[in-house]
Amino acid sequence: MKKNLLLINLFLIGFVLNSMAENYDTLWTKTYGGDNQCSGNSIVVTDGGYLIAGSIKYANITTEWDFWVAKINANGDTLWTKTIPFGLWDGAKKIKRCLDGNYILYGYTGQSNNYHMALAKIKGNGDTLWTKKFSYAADELVKDIIETNDSGFIMTSKTTESNNDKIRFVKTDKYGNLITEKLLTYSTNSYVSGNSIVKAFDSGYLIAGYTKAGSLKNGEIMVMRVDESGNQSDALTYKALVDGVEAYQIIQTMDSCYLMCSIQKAKTAPSNYKLYISKIDKSLIELWNKTLDYSVNTYNQPASIISTSDRGFVITGATGNLSLKDLMIIKINPEGEIEWRDSIATSATEEGCDVIQTAVDNFLVVGNTQASNTSRAWVLKYGVSTVNINEGVVNKTNISAFPVPVNDFFNIQFELNKESNVSVRVLDITGKTIKTVKFGTVAPGKHVYPVDCNELSGGLYMVKVETEKEIVTKKIIKQ
């Protein structure tokens, strides 16, 4: 059944936030790490729940970070946590289920400007089977991992040698023992990165990323075909009409093609990122490409894309600007057209890092939330809301806070479908309530109320519009 789409104009910090299907919403969110610094980078389905992988730094230890794994149930409750130490600064970037039912963790270990590949295999209960570390002279920026048909693993990283960026290709056996290591390049270009790897439909593997010559400001999407030993056969590049593009992830589609999720960097403003989706066939011929007009935000960066049960795709990442990001989630159809989209904000900075589908209309997103220099791993369940917007109190298609930024006061504009008691709470970035304004019983219809904020100091605040049944959160910046 086709979902009715609503155009949602949420004026928040000077830009339009999102438009989304009316029956999709945040169902619950949970944070992890307690009093410790913690990040969540990857999520995978396991027996009786989900495994999250990332990194943790305990509050009583000043510098050391470890691999961190947590098992949660369907409600996001923590069942257990495990840490795996390698060195000083460690972090798991990927977790994937293996053919034997165990799990592989891929990440990094080292310290500033001297990071190396790190690999750990664990059981479903979190017990460590083995760990491996791969050290090279150059600094390694870990990218992706895939299990091979012989139960071994291929890892990619970006490394810099002789002032040139190259792809480091590493193949191991099923115990993590090194079999092959190679440096891959594209033509005579000075810069190349392999951000994602996927099995090819015919044979071998495809590595997707970007390449550019040293004299050019903007790069091109690159797709390279390799075998299990890292031998290159062919490679092609794809570019936007004007801007630079870089593929972040490549996945197989149900019609035996490949979809790439990329960023498009504006030529005139390289820090402005747009979402760029392209589809190629088995022969690596581009079928179509689209720039997703997600919002007028200057920063829209994907982190993960998955195929969905209806042959579409869901993307998560971050939207906003470099200093103020919200978690982004977008659903597109098989032709790359947006079906619904949303931005989720709870504190100063949020980002989505990975996403999985848990039901026909439900998704789990793992990412990070940060406020006051404290980061937490964050899991969000997103999907079909139990309350239809037309049956609820607040019409979320017409709620905003303005002007942007605010000075001595701001106006909160909202529309009610039903009579309800309404109040507004202003919270600082730590979640502390600074101000509460009660409007009493408000009739159905559109309303605009001024809120005095002269006593607030400059900075970022959360504004919660609360009715008897719902809470809607916005952000404001006080000058």
CATH of the domain at 168: 2.130.10.10
Q: Residues 279, 417: one domain? A: no
- For 327, the 3-state DSSP assignment is strand
Q: Residues 294, 431: one domain? A: no
Tokens representing 420 are: 């309800």
Domain end position, chosen among 353, 384, 415: 384
Q: How many CA atoms lie within 13 A of 462 on its CB side?
A: 20
Q: Residues 467, 376: one domain? A: no
Look up residue 68 and give its amino acid.
W
Q: Residues 327, 433: one domain? A: no
Q: Does residue 390 sit within a domain?
A: no
Number of compact structural domains in the chain: 2
Look up residue 37 and give its amino acid.
Q
DSSP secondary structure string for all residues of 83-146: EE--SSEEEEEEEEE-TTS-EEEEEEEEETTEEEEEEEEE-TTS-EEEEEEE--SS-EEEEEEE
| 108 contacts 120 by C-beta, under 8 angstroms | no
Residues 6+ apart with CB under 8 A from 186: 192, 211, 222, 224, 235, 237
CATH of the domain at 424: 2.60.40.1930
C-alpha span between 120 and 217 (Å, rounded): 37
Peptide bond into 403 cis (omega under 30): yes
Q: Does residue 2 sit within a domain?
A: no
| 5 contacts 64 by C-beta, under 8 angstroms | no
Q: Residues 242, 345: one domain? A: yes
Residue 219 CB neighbour total at 10 angstroms: 21
Q: Does residue 185 sit within a domain?
A: yes
Q: Residues 226, 274: one domain? A: yes
What pLDDT is attached to residue 395?
Answer: 59
Q: Residues 331, 412: one domain? A: no
Rg (CA), the chain: 23
**Bridge partners for 75 per DSSP:** none
**Bridge partners for 13 per DSSP:** none
Q: Does residue 76 sit within a domain?
A: yes
DSSP letter (8 states) at residue 78: E
Look up residue 196 and give its amino acid.
S
- For 470, the 3-state DSSP assignment is coil
Residue 453 CB neighbour total at 10 angstroms: 20
Give this prediction's pTM: 0.76
What pLDDT is attached to residue 248?
Answer: 95
Q: Residues 255, 282: one domain? A: yes
Q: Residues 287, 435: one domain? A: no
| 52 contacts 366 by C-beta, under 8 angstroms | yes
Q: Does residue 5 sit within a domain?
A: no
What pLDDT is attached to residue 5?
Answer: 28
Strands (E), 256-337: 258-265, 273-280, 286-292, 299-307, 313-321, 324-332
Q: Residues 369, 437: one domain? A: no
How far are the Cα atoms of 11, 115, 117, 154 from residue 137, in angstroms, in the given order?
Answer: 49, 10, 12, 20
Q: Does residue 6 sit within a domain?
A: no
C-alpha span between 352 and 317 (Å, rounded): 4
Specify the DSSP element, H or E, that contains 47: none
Q: Does residue 14 sit within a domain?
A: no
C-alpha span between 128 and 194 (Å, rounded): 28
C-alpha span between 44 and 69 (Å, rounded): 11
Residue 227 CB neighbour total at 10 angstroms: 13
What pLDDT is attached to residue 333?
Answer: 95
C-alpha span between 46 and 24 (Å, rounded): 25
Ranges of residues in the chain whose predicted pLDDT is under 50: 1-22, 386-391, 397
Domain limits for position 132? 19-384
Domain end position, chosen among 384, 412, 430: 384
Q: Does residue 82 sit within a domain?
A: yes
Q: Residues 138, 182: one domain? A: yes
Q: Residues 331, 449: one domain? A: no
What pLDDT is attached to residue 474?
Answer: 78
Domain end position, chosen among 349, 384, 419: 384
